[in-house]
Amino acid sequence: MAAEPRPAAGDGTVQTERSVLVGVCGGIAIYKSVELVRSLVTEGFTPTVLLTEAAERFVTPLTFAAVSKSAVLQDETAWQASGGWFQHIEAARGAQVLCVAPATANTLAKMAAGMADNLLTAVYLAFRGRVVIAPSMNWAMYEHPATQDNLRRLAERGADVLDTGSGDLACGEEGSGRMADPQTILSAIRRAFNQSAAGPLTGRKVIVTAGGTREPVDAVRYVGNRSSGRMGRALADEAHLRGADVVLVTTVDRGETAYRTVSVESAADMAAAVHAETATADVLVMAAAVADFTPGTRVEGKIERGETETLGLQLVRTQDILLASARPGLLRVGFAAEAGPRLDRARAKYEQKGVDLLVFNDILASGVGIGSLENEITIISPEGDVHIPRTSKAVCARAVMTEVERMLASH
Ligand code: CTP
């Protein structure tokens, strides 16, 4: 008889707040900070923006309030709200990571000297978590020994000082000093969470597979499927945020990651990469849609149409990577994408593959699963099922990793 689903850990939506303070100084690169804050929100972080007076000359607090979906901290309101400098202690206490982007020469100098003459610099002094700094300024100001000294001092104190790019600068000159791209800053913020995590996944090696494999027919054609690689990417991101040493083996490039990725194409490539990586791993999450069959022979060059009316493809079975990876000490998580509400079929796979957890989803349900942004899953585990109603793949990934951590902690 099927067990009653048990509630997911936490409040049922598996929301653990990941709060980031984003200190914004007055520089033209501020437009990239708006994008950074927006990406933080879409990727499940809770940003609180802190503007210096100079920053407000470039962008109004309203813009940041709208993209961050929360009140913006300003020097002016810091004084008004509490009648003193209490807001900086509150802000510093509530966040896990502080990111200053853009960090101008003036603010960098104040941070290096330990001054606290505005809200941002006071927060920096009161803050005890990881700090990410994205400098932005004219090339001559950036290269000046005073600025370079300040950056070195901040890095020596543990801040992750990001490199600047070179090229056209807003001042019309060319050179270094251009702020890192939002995606690069986001990766640094993710690394900061990874380094400050302290849970069952911290320091564990986790291999995640993602995307649909492409089975070559000839030099240009392949047999494939519609998997977007998003669920696997979300799982890898989540494990990394929880402190894991993550390797993502994927057929789809979904942009910069904060951890190592291995690009593969076919089921055979994926099998080779997974076996090489899992030799030293603690967890394997097979989220990829691996082809069950592949062309028996690969035609060199290109199959020509000629006068041919029909073309037969002889397909042969691929290796079941998940099954072949079984070994003591490796926690394995499988996926079962079924056509219909076939939880019974998923349960049979759970037994047959001998996995620790199996994530079931119904690919026929509308708006979820393969190729979509959202998913609805049931996690089958020895403790009973956990059902996660339709939500983002990031929230689904949190639920899966919470179950993985629970199993690691109880082993
Ligand atoms: N899988 C695998 N190697 C394969 C095929 C599947 O490692 N050659 C993994 C998938 O990544 C997934 C799990 O096995 O985690 C189940 O995949 P699925 O395609 O749902 O099941 P199959 O075992 O292929 O069975 P069927 O196609 O009959 O549903």
Same domain, 219 and 187: no
Both tokens of residue 253? 């490039």
Same domain, 132 and 259: no
Q: Is 171 a catalytic residue?
A: yes
Same domain, 329 and 401: yes
Domain presence at residue 336: yes
Question: What is the phi/psi pair of residue 138, to 5°?
Answer: -60, 150
* Chain position carrying tokens 């945020």: 241
Domain presence at residue 13: no
pLDDT attached to residue 257: 96
Nearest residue to 240 via CA among 226, 256, 252, 251:
256
CATH classification at residue 30: 3.40.50.1950
Please work out whether the CB of residue 322 comes within 6 Å of at least one atom of ligand 1.
yes
Nearest-atom index, ligand 1, CA of 337: 20
Residue by residue, pLDDT tens for the chain (411 residues) are 445 666 665 433 444 689 999 999 999 999 999 999 999 999 999 999 999 999 999 999 999 999 999 999 998 877 665 555 567 777 888 899 999 999 999 999 999 999 999 999 999 999 999 999 999 999 999 999 999 999 999 999 999 999 999 988 888 888 899 999 999 999 999 999 999 999 999 999 999 999 999 999 999 999 999 999 999 999 999 999 999 999 999 999 999 999 999 999 999 999 999 999 999 999 999 999 999 999 999 899 999 999 999 999 999 999 999 999 999 999 999 999 999 999 999 999 999 999 999 999 999 998 887 878 899 999 999 999 999 999 999 999 999 999 999 999 987
Domain presence at residue 1: no
Please work out whether the CB of residue 266 comes within 6 Å of at least one atom of ligand 1.
no
Domain presence at residue 9: no
Alpha-carbon separation of residue 255 from 25, 147, 218 (angstroms): 27, 32, 28
Please work out whether the CB of residue 369 comes within 6 Å of at least one atom of ligand 1.
no
Same domain, 65 and 186: yes
Q: How many domains does the chain have?
A: 2
Q: Read out DSSP for 361-405? A: EETTSTTBSTTSSEEEEEEEETTEEEEEEEEEHHHHHHHHHHHHH
Same domain, 264 and 189: no
Same domain, 140 and 208: no
Residue nearest atom 17 of ligand 1, based on CA coordinates: 336
Please work out whether the CB of residue 335 comes within 6 Å of at least one atom of ligand 1.
yes
Domain presence at residue 5: no
Cis peptide before 102 (omega within 30 of 0): yes
Range of the domain at 278: 200-410
Among the candidates 195, 216, 245, a domain finishes at: 195
Q: Looking at beta carbons, which pairs linking 114-121 to residues 24 or more positions away fall under 8 Å?
A: 116/88, 118/52, 118/53, 118/75, 119/50, 119/52, 119/73, 119/74, 119/75, 119/78, 119/87, 119/88, 119/91, 120/23, 120/25, 120/50, 120/52
Among the candidates 171, 195, 219, a domain finishes at: 195
Alpha carbons 171 and 186: distance in angstroms, whole number: 26
Please work out whether the CB of residue 288 comes within 6 Å of at least one atom of ligand 1.
yes
Residue nearest atom 9 of ligand 1, based on CA coordinates: 322
**Ligand 1 centroid, distance to 128 Cα (angstroms):** 45
Domain presence at residue 392: yes
Same domain, 204 and 187: no
Residue 141 identity = M
pLDDT attached to residue 7: 60
What kind and span of H or E run contains 74? strand 73-74
Among the candidates 128, 162, 195, a domain finishes at: 195
Alpha-carbon separation of residue 396 from 212, 237, 360 (angstroms): 19, 12, 11
Same domain, 296 and 170: no
**Ligand 1 centroid, distance to 326 Cα (angstroms):** 14
Domain presence at residue 14: no
Same domain, 126 and 266: no
Both tokens of residue 47? 């940003």
Domain presence at residue 7: no
CATH classification at residue 291: 3.40.50.10300
Backbone dihedral region for residue 90 (phi beyond 0: left; psi -120 to 50: alpha; all else: beta)? alpha
Nearest-atom index, ligand 1, CA of 352: 23
Same domain, 27 and 60: yes
Same domain, 154 and 227: no
Both tokens of residue 265? 């194409």
Same domain, 147 and 39: yes
